[in-house]
A and B are shown apart, each in its own frame.
Chain A
Amino acid sequence: MTTDEMTDAVLVRRAASGDEQAFRELYRAYVRPVYWVAHGLLRDSDDAHDVTQESFIVAWDKLGSLELAGDSLLPWLVTICRFQAANRLRARSRDRARRAPLDDRLPSEVDLEHQVITSELADLILHETESLGELDREIFRLCATEGRDYAAAARELGVTHATVRNRLSRVRHRLRVVVGDFTGS
């Protein structure tokens, strides 16, 4: 979550309508986690810096069409970062293929689109980032470690999350009623 009483949703709306300061706040809040994810995928700090930068540029462009599912922008940023990292990996492999065709450090046959970070790294990142809500943590994990698409993951989890939330709130309500009866209020 970002500081101040500003929620991410408000900042996103503002940034989409042209407020530069709002975007800068989002950037400050999430530049580190995004960098960590980029580094986790690319293993090279220069590439990771470039990819982080590109991710935020692209993110700013796409803010207008974003429907934020949870409370945090991070999971969405992570999906963009993954996409940019995949491009970078592809370019890297093309370069290597041209320069040193016999290099045995060529990347494996794993589909570059679905490079993911390990779940340990994901846990570490979540630990270091200011506490995300439950829904957002789940979406983050799905996107970062399983390479899922943000909208699909959010929808899926949102449904589950909403059901969980509703159940919880119903429980809370019943408790209140009970307590109320008990205390006579």
Chain B
Amino acid sequence: MSSTNDLPALDPNRIDSMEQQIVTAHRGARTIRRRRVLGITGAAAGVLVLAAVAGPVVSNAGRLPSFGTGTAESGAVSADMPSMPEQFGTEEAPGSGLTDMSGRSVEGSNTAGVESGANGTSVSGAASADGTVGREIITSATAGVRVSDVVGALAQISATAEALGGYVESSDSSSNPSFVDGSSRLPAAPAIDSGYITIRVPADRLSEAQSSLADLGEVTSSSTNRQDVTTQAVDLRARIEATQASVDRLQTLMSQAANVADLLAAETQLADRQATLESYQQQLTALESQVSLSSLTISLTADRPVQAAEPSGFLDGLLAGWNGLVASANGLFIGLGFLLPWLVVVAVVVAVVVTLRRARRRRRGGSL
């Protein structure tokens, strides 16, 4: 316990061996440290890669498949759908029957996607005089087409209608103010992005008209509605005949009228009958017109431009690059958020293991 005045000697061999052991220990520690750093970096990189992959998958899985293009996405370009039953409201009285028919007609600009798929051909209504040779059928069709240029397509359809011997009944086009091409730097000129047009073409040329639509763009929907109005026509004709006969009779009566009173009575009745006759005749004409000229209503939508518009110039490129970076970063963060609960669990497990190992090491080191 007493301190000596001489300092203890240190054997040179001992000095050398200690030096060697120190160096070896240090190298070993350094390797361990490097391996740990690599391990952690590897794990972090793995997590980031996983997040980058998981992000888009997670965000896509939640989204419903979206077909937003504006038209009635019936999705079925009719080719072999079962044909519609041919009779339509034929039980009703002619008067109401006609309004009913016109109510169901597809003229005008606000009907699209009448979901009654049928084949594209139309039966030409042979409107014979006595109505017994062929059926009289009103055919009306609708179609939805996605085109790149709405205005041009409208013009083309009009030309087609006229070429087929028909005419344009109505058309209109509109632009959606929210649909502005964001990547171009021109002042926001609202693009025409939708349009409706109704054409009338001879019934036997309806199918030509329908197939011509395929040249304009992608036909996204198509339907045909056929209405057999033979009974109404026959009925009308019968009434016309009867009323005509009545008018004739009254006219004969008037010419043979004995006195003024009888004449006046006959004349009143005649006027009434003639009005009725005219009405029936108008109805028949309208019906026959509808039968002979089918109507085709086309709904046009503009093709949405591809998102990746080529950057035209440095600033555009920069913007595109920045957006891309933001999008990827967003995807990465979504992925990280998704992985976070897992990471917490893993971290807890690792912490427990490390504390256990350290405690064990300390205990072992202490009892040397």
Whether A177 sits at the interface, judged by CB under 8 Å, is no
B367:A95 contact, CB within 8 angstroms: yes
A90: contacting residue among B14, B19, B22, B366, CB under 8 A: B366
Segment 107-136 of A: residues with Cβ below 8 Å from B: 118, 120-121, 124-125, 128
Measured CB to CB, the closest approach of chain B to A141, in angstroms, equals: 16
Q: How far is the CA of A166 from the CA of B3 in the complex (A)?
A: 39
Contacts of B10 in A (CB 8 A): 31-32, 35
Contacts of A60 in B (CB 8 A): 22, 26
B366:A24 contact, CB within 8 angstroms: no
Give chain B's interface secondary structure class.
helix
Whether A156 sits at the interface, judged by CB under 8 Å, is no
A53:B21 contact, CB within 8 angstroms: yes
Chain B CB within 10 Å — which of A28, A57, A61 has the most? A57
Measured CB to CB, the closest approach of chain B to A17, in angstroms, equals: 12
Whether B18 sits at the interface, judged by CB under 8 Å, is yes
Segment 63-102 of A: residues with Cβ below 8 Å from B: 90-91, 94-95
Whether A140 sits at the interface, judged by CB under 8 Å, is no
Measured CB to CB, the closest approach of chain B to A28, in angstroms, equals: 8
B3:A91 contact, CB within 8 angstroms: no
Measured CB to CB, the closest approach of chain A to B302, in angstroms, equals: 66
Q: Which A residue's beta carbon lies closest to that of B28?
A: A57
Contacts of A20 in B (CB 8 A): 23
Contacts of A137 in B (CB 8 A): none
A49:B18 contact, CB within 8 angstroms: yes
Q: How far is the CA of A53 from the CA of B21 in the complex (A)?
A: 8
A91:B368 contact, CB within 8 angstroms: yes
Measured CB to CB, the closest approach of chain A to B5, in angstroms, equals: 7
Size of the chain A interface, CB-CB below 8 angstroms: 31
Whether A7 sits at the interface, judged by CB under 8 Å, is no
Using A24-B23, A27-B22 as known contacts, say yes or no to A91 and B7 having CB atoms under 8 A apart.
no
Whether B1 sits at the interface, judged by CB under 8 Å, is yes
Q: How far is the CA of A23 from the CA of B20 in the complex (A)?
A: 12
Which stretch (A38-46, A145-153, A157-165, A168-176) binds chain B?
Answer: A38-46
B7:A56 contact, CB within 8 angstroms: no
Using A57-B26, A91-B368 as known contacts, say yes or no to A31 and B15 having CB atoms under 8 A apart.
yes
Whether B354 sits at the interface, judged by CB under 8 Å, is no
Q: How far is the CA of A120 from the CA of B10 in the complex (A)?
A: 20
Q: How far is the CA of A57 from the CA of B18 in the complex (A)?
A: 10
A53:B23 contact, CB within 8 angstroms: no
Measured CB to CB, the closest approach of chain A to B36, in angstroms, equals: 14
Q: How far is the CA of A56 from the CA of B124 in the complex (A)?
A: 107
Using A31-B10, A35-B8, A57-B25 as known contacts, say yes or no to A120 and B18 having CB atoms under 8 A apart.
no
Segment 59-100 of B: residues with Cβ below 8 Å from A: none
Contacts of B7 in A (CB 8 A): 32, 36, 39, 121, 124-125, 128
How does the 8 Å CB contact mask read for B337-368 relative to A, with 1 for contact and 0 for none?
00000000000000000000000000001111
Whether A139 sits at the interface, judged by CB under 8 Å, is no
Using A45-B8, A57-B25, A61-B29 as known contacts, say yes or no to A52 and B18 having CB atoms under 8 A apart.
yes
A121:B14 contact, CB within 8 angstroms: no
Q: How far is the CA of A22 from the CA of B1 in the complex (A)?
A: 37
Segment 323-344 of B: residues with Cβ below 8 Å from A: none
Q: How far is the CA of A120 from the CA of B2 in the complex (A)?
A: 12
Measured CB to CB, the closest approach of chain A to B34, in angstroms, equals: 11
A91: contacting residue among B21, B23, B366, CB under 8 A: B366
Contacts of B3 in A (CB 8 A): 40, 118, 120-121
Q: How far is the CA of A23 from the CA of B366 in the complex (A)?
A: 28
Q: Which B residue's beta carbon lies closest to that of A45?
A: B8
Segment 11-56 of B: residues with Cβ below 8 Å from A: 14-15, 18-19, 21-23, 25-26, 29
Q: Which A residue's beta carbon lies closest to that of B30?
A: A18
5 contacts between A and B (CB under 8 A): A49-B18, A52-B18, A56-B18, A120-B5, A128-B7
Beyond contacts A31-B19, A94-B367: 17 other A-B pairs, Cβ-Cβ < 8 A, are A23-B23, A24-B19, A24-B23, A27-B22, A28-B15, A28-B19, A31-B10, A31-B18, A39-B7, A40-B3, A45-B8, A48-B8, A56-B22, A57-B26, A60-B26, A91-B366, A94-B366
Query: Which residues of B pack against A, CB within 8 Å?
Result: 1, 3, 5, 7-8, 10, 14-15, 18-19, 21-23, 25-26, 29, 365-368
Query: Which residues of A pack against B, CB within 8 Å?
Result: 20, 23-24, 27-28, 31-32, 35-36, 39-40, 43, 45, 48-49, 52-53, 56-57, 60-61, 90-91, 94-95, 118, 120-121, 124-125, 128
The 6 closest A-B pairs by CB, nearest first: A39-B8, A56-B22, A57-B25, A53-B18, A60-B26, A36-B7
